[in-house]
Amino acid sequence: MKNRLTVFAFAATMFMGVQTSSAQQLSQDKSRPEVIAKTETANLTETLGLNGDQGRAVFRALVAKEVGYQKNVDGKDAKDASVVAEKKKLDDQLKESMKKTLTADQYAKWLKTNN
């Protein structure tokens, strides 16, 4: 009887541990560049009416921006000259990529919603 109780207690502890670790994983996933870019791409697809090729190109551009932000901008002093320069560089790269990908009307609408 004591052995069964020990096995049950061990199984319950393991089950609780798995639940906790999966909950932590979900909260960490929200800050991943791919997750952020996917959400923003879905919003832009709805707003701008992107086709499949445009959606993929926009997703890649947004992932590149988010990776750059997390690497060089997030968590650093926003007033530091190097951080400001890096942010401007990343924003300019995104604008250039969007200009190549979107039609003139879509790009104008994106600029209005982006600012």
Instruction: Return the amino acid letter for 18.
Output: V
| Residues 87-106: tens digit of each pLDDT | 899 899 999 999 999 999 99
pLDDT band at 24 (very low <50, low <70, confident <90, very high): low
The rounded mean pLDDT for the chain is 82
Residue 12 pLDDT class (50, 70, 90 cuts): low
Tell me the CB-side half-sphere exposure of residue 100, using CA atoms within 13 A: 11
> Which residues, in sequence order, are CB contacts of 45 under 8 Å at separation 6+?
55, 58
What pLDDT does residue 13 have? 66
- Give the tens place of pLDDT for each residue, 40-85: 999 999 999 999 899 999 999 999 999 988 887 777 777 778 888 8
